[in-house]
Amino acid sequence: MALQSFLSYMSLEKNYSNHTVQAYKRDIEAFTLFCSLEYQTDHIETIGYGLIRSWIVELVDKNISNRTINRKIASLKAYYKFLLRMGEIDASPLVKHKALKTAKKVEVPFSEREMQEVLSRISYDEGFEGVRDKLIIELLYATGMRRAELINLKLDAIDLNSRTIKVLGKRNKERILPLLNSCIVHVRDYYSERQQLPVIVDKQFVFLLNSGHKIYETLVYRVVNKYLGKVSSKVKKSPHILRHTFATHLLNQGADLNSVKELLGHSSLASTQVYTHNSIAELKKVHSASHPRSQE
């Protein structure tokens, strides 16, 4: 009962996505199962830090990454914080827990040349799907929106007259993004193809399958991987890397961090700062090539 109340709180009060809520549920249920099998107790509300530490040790022994373990413990921490708030416990067993050390995750963005090639030089499939797929890549790169934001984009969110697009981000936070001229051209091309679909089921959504239903997460990943794979040899080719590329290219061209933060829909500047290491690398190259003493 406490777990269900917690999940409802995360969904209704905190406005977390269903994907995130289900991740919390899986983590907490996994720990509950561990306590039941190893310590014959299902009441994780009353356990001490020692049991949690035992679970961490087991996860490490199973070669689970520190990053994943930290995420699982973060789920427990949020649960105990909720129980504390509801008066179900007097103190969280994780109050003094320190996260495991993790290696800094470096994601390599696509180069400007690769993006120019994928949007201007390669061929896309004929007909509706090809036009749709090109617009998917164009919008992800030109706006920096998240995959989920693109999937849930509605027709009334795109205003071609004002050249803007309204995006509904995490926790239902709205932001308005400018549309490039190239995007507007591709949107009109796509709308023309979309109108010719024999059946449209999910009428309010922008991006559809041939069947007229809304697109899904795996399809967006496949589209990005397929077409970027034609111009790039990078191992990771995903919608998130396109978002990363958007931010990096803006910073390389002189955009200030706060502006990029607003465009990405980040709640804090710290989230945006992870994208700066690539722009710093670019600045180092410019500095080395331009400074009078660089050759000495």
CA–CA separation, 89 and 176 (whole Å): 42
**Could you tell me which of 221, 192, 215 has the C-alpha nearest to residue 202?**
215
**pLDDT computed for residue 126 by the predictor:** 93
**pLDDT computed for residue 158 by the predictor:** 96
Catalytic amino acids?
146, 170, 240, 243, 266, 275
**Could you tell me which of 234, 4, 210, 229 has the C-alpha nearest to residue 106?**
234
Local confidence pLDDT in tens for the 296 residues of the chain: 789 999 999 988 888 888 889 999 999 999 999 999 989 988 898 889 999 999 999 999 999 999 999 999 999 999 999 999 999 999 999 999 999 988 766 678 999 999 999 999 999 999 999 999 999 999 999 999 999 999 999 999 999 999 999 998 887 888 999 999 989 999 999 999 999 999 999 999 999 999 999 999 999 999 999 999 999 988 889 999 999 999 999 988 888 888 888 899 887 777 777 666 655 555 455 545 554 555 55
Q: Locate tokens 């995006």: which residue?
A: 167
User: DSSP characters for 240-251?
Assistant: HHHHHHHHHHHH
